[in-house]
Chains A and B, each alone.
Chain A
Amino acid sequence: MPDIAILLLLLTPLVGGVLVTILGKKNYAEIITISSASLVLIQVIFILSKVIHDKTITAFGNMFYIDSLGAVILLPISIVGFVAVLYSKNYMGHQYDMGMVDDKHIVRYYQGINAFLLSMIVVPITNNLGIMWVTVEATTLVSVLLIMLYFKENAIEAAWKYLIIATVGLSFALVGTVFFYYANINSGTSEDAMDWTGMVHNSKLFNPALVMIAFVFILVGYGTKAGLAPMHTWLPDAHSEAPTPVSALLSGVLLNCALYGIIRFRIVTIGAIGTAFSNELLIILAVVSIGIGAASIYFQKDMKRMLAYSSVEHMGLVSLGIGFGGLVGVYGAILQIINHAIAKPLMFFASGNVSQKYETKVMSKVKGVIKVMPMTGTLFLIGGFALVGMPPFNIFLSEFLVLSSGFQSGQFLAVSVVIVFLVVTFAAFLRHLIKMIFGTPAAEVKKDEMGKLAVIPLAILGSLVIVLGFYIPSQLQELIHNASVIINGGGFA
């Protein structure tokens, strides 16, 4: 039964991509991809309900393994995937009408989106860490293709930097993976030594020195892909030059997939050498990321680059929560993953509407969004409030949990530095945002929304941002709680 469920889940985007290729028409491609993304969402919800009930699902022998940790990564992928595809119809349609892209590009775009979804889905459900590496590398390749959809100079530059830096970075992750594999072989494992479950089981037998080196490689490797500073340099370019729905997927969920790689290996690491080593490294990278995010947001002129740097900051906050450890910190970190995955795409979609309306991404040229597009403007503001951690929106709660766990674990220096950075981000981000949203728009800007499907995806995400601020469904709470237990090395026999 789980075999069939997993097979169907993987087949859905695959068949979607194939159908788009065969039919090769804009209208068909849109309908097919919207249906494949919504089918993925439905199936993921079904699988998640199984995970809540059974704790873990294994399929095809030991090849696929979904526990609560995989589930909390899988859920945002399916939600944001669905919303991004919904948003694409209008956004790419507008680009098409403007002559930015032609039929061939649109087909290529929807092929890419299906392939992108497929590669991201495999990451949190595979048990084999080698396959995980292969699929993370595959996400790089697919997303490079999506970024190069436009023939602009900037897109070529962004795609090239992303391809080279992410590939070199991931080669470090492969070295780390091989080190762990080697340690597992030498602990006399009987099953496939790449399986995460077996690795955690044997982790006590691993050579501590080897595990330390291996974890550093993993952190540098997957950290590059997750956009942790100082390896983040490709991120603002790639995320700002991609078509907006792709930016939302890159920022909202792809970064989580890379972070997920670090988290999986961290669990093995703490099994072998305890928490101190990995926590310290994570906290250092996190503080640097949050600092760089804050400084870059302060000086930012480009709307999408600002959002990209905010992703660097939020990935830092997630690592910070995991680094502080304890049930509260890790719970906050996972909640932060989910909250960020909802709020960031909302902001990208809103900025996409704004940049299509004003035909610029430069923030100083955008004025009075709320007068021109009342719905988009309001949702833009809500998303912005959420991103900077203002109560009562969702990210406030997770940031609060992360910071308070820092106090509990006695990391006063790190917490106080981070609070200073967060205050800077808060002020700078809101100043940029409020300047865009209020004020008098230029007379030639036509006052209407970009279209129904340019607002509905935002409204879906916006309502999630508001609801998750004061109410988390008990099923989701249980998933996050179980995932936190797994990350802390418990709950695994």
Chain B
Amino acid sequence: MEPLQLDIMEISGAILLIATFGVIARRGFMDWLNAYRLQSIVLAGVTAVIGYVTGIWEIYVAAVLTLLIKSIAIPKVLTYVTRQLEMESKTETNPYLSLRASIIVSALLVALAYFFSQQLPFKSDPVVDIYLPVSMAQFFLGLLALVNRRTALSQVVGLLVIENGLFLFTLALTHGVSLIIEVGIFADILVGIVISSILLFRMSRTFDSLDVGNLENLRDD
């Protein structure tokens, strides 16, 4: 593999990680959305690069789908949703861990991702070596965003980051599963986002806020 290709892969991996930190380190929903959009554009580029390196045409289709759905359609839907919602629910003012602490935890999680990917019994190849730890880090950071935040919007973003991590993971490890499955996964994400948007509307109308702390009626006591 040529040094230029390696460089491109390493830089793109780094951008992906930085964009993921953007979701962790900011309070505003629009900031997360921008970070997610950036991440998805880079992810589409990475997909195309992997397609070029491996020479499988189906991966190009996945790259185009990533660009269309994740960096255009989903941010559009979510921007529309936030415009319709109350202003105060758009920022995360009170996460369980403070921003500073969550950045430290995230750094540890990234280190953990690199550690894990060395432990796993995979054949070494540059695509796997570079992107696998990045994808795992995305997965972990997405989970962190999901459990650490109180607003329902940020849980959606957490899910999206997890999903990007999974996508990269699948791509790096297997050079893409067959196209029909990819399309199915994309359809699932898109429908999932639409459903969660509807739920967000109802939640804000019913509870006057998007704090998931309100969702505590159902319990056994």
Contacts and interface: CB of A to CB of B under 8 A. Distances in A.
Interface of A: 128, 130-131, 133-135, 137-138, 141, 144-145, 148, 151, 153-154, 156-161, 163-164, 167-168, 171, 174-175, 178, 181-182, 185-186, 192-194, 207, 209-210, 213, 236-237, 240-241, 296, 299-300, 305
A130 B218 contact: no
B28 interface: no
Contact of B178 (A130, A145, A148): A130
Contacts of A175: 139, 166, 169
Interface stretch (B10-18, B79-87, B104-112, B197-205): B197-205
* Closest CB pairs A-B (n = 10): A134-B184, A130-B181, A157-B215, A237-B218, A137-B188, A209-B121, A178-B170, A141-B191, A182-B173, A210-B121
Contacts of A209: 121
Contact of B177 (A141, A181, A241): A181
Contacts, number: 115
Interface residues of B, number: 42
Contacts of A186: 123
Given A163-B199, A185-B174, A153 B217 contact: yes
B188 to A, nearest CB: 5
Contacts of A171: 139, 162-163, 166
B112 to A, nearest CB: 15
Interface in B170-212: 170, 173-174, 177-178, 180-181, 184-185, 187-188, 191-192, 195-196, 198-199, 202-203, 206-207, 212
B159 A168 contact: yes
Nearest to B192: A141
Contacts of B78: none
Contact of A174 (B146, B159, B166, B178): B166
Contacts of A181: 174, 177
Contacts of B215: 156-157, 160-161
Contact of B180 (A131, A241, A305): A131
15 contacts: A130-B184, A131-B181, A134-B187, A135-B184, A137-B188, A144-B195, A153-B207, A157-B216, A160-B215, A161-B218, A164-B146, A168-B146, A236-B218, A241-B218, A296-B220
B152 interface: yes
Contacts of B155: 164
Contacts of B212: 160
A178 B184 contact: no
* Chain A interface helix/strand/loop/mixed: helix
Interface in B121-176: 121-123, 139, 143, 146, 152, 155, 159, 162-163, 166, 169-170, 173-174
A213 B116 CA distance: 12
A158 B181 CA distance: 29
B206 A156 contact: yes
B120 interface: yes
Interface string B25-38: 00000000000000
B22 to A, nearest CB: 21
Contacts of B174: 178, 181-182, 185, 193
Contacts of B216: 157
B96 to A, nearest CB: 16
B188 A148 contact: no
A240 B120 CA distance: 41
Nearest to B173: A182
Nearest to B221: A299
A167 B159 contact: yes
B162 A156 contact: no
Contacts of A240: 218
B120 to A, nearest CB: 7
Given A153-B207, A213-B120, 19 more contacts: A130-B178, A131-B181, A135-B184, A137-B188, A138-B184, A148-B195, A157-B214, A160-B199, A161-B215, A163-B192, A167-B192, A168-B162, A175-B169, A178-B170, A178-B173, A178-B174, A181-B174, A182-B122, A192-B178
Contacts of B166: 171, 174-175
Contacts of B163: 171
A151 B206 contact: yes
Contacts of A141: 188, 191-192, 195
B220 A138 contact: no
Contact of B143 (A151, A168, A182): A168
Contacts of B173: 178, 182
Contacts of A135: 184
Given A178-B177, A181-B174, A148 B152 contact: no
A145 B195 CA distance: 7
B133 to A, nearest CB: 14
Contacts of A193: 174
Contact of B181 (A161, A194, A241): A194
A194 to B, nearest CB: 6
Interface in B37-79: none
B217 A157 contact: yes
A299 B218 CA distance: 14
Report which residue of B122, B216, B220 has the largest number of chain A beta carbons within 10 angstroms of its beta carbon. Answer: B220
Contacts of B198: 148
A185 B109 CA distance: 29
Nearest to B162: A171
Contacts of B206: 151, 153, 156
A159 B191 contact: no
A186 B199 CA distance: 43
B143 A134 contact: no
A193 B174 CA distance: 10
Contacts of B181: 128, 130-131, 133-134, 194
A300 B220 CA distance: 7
Nearest to B198: A148
B144 to A, nearest CB: 12
Nearest to A185: B174
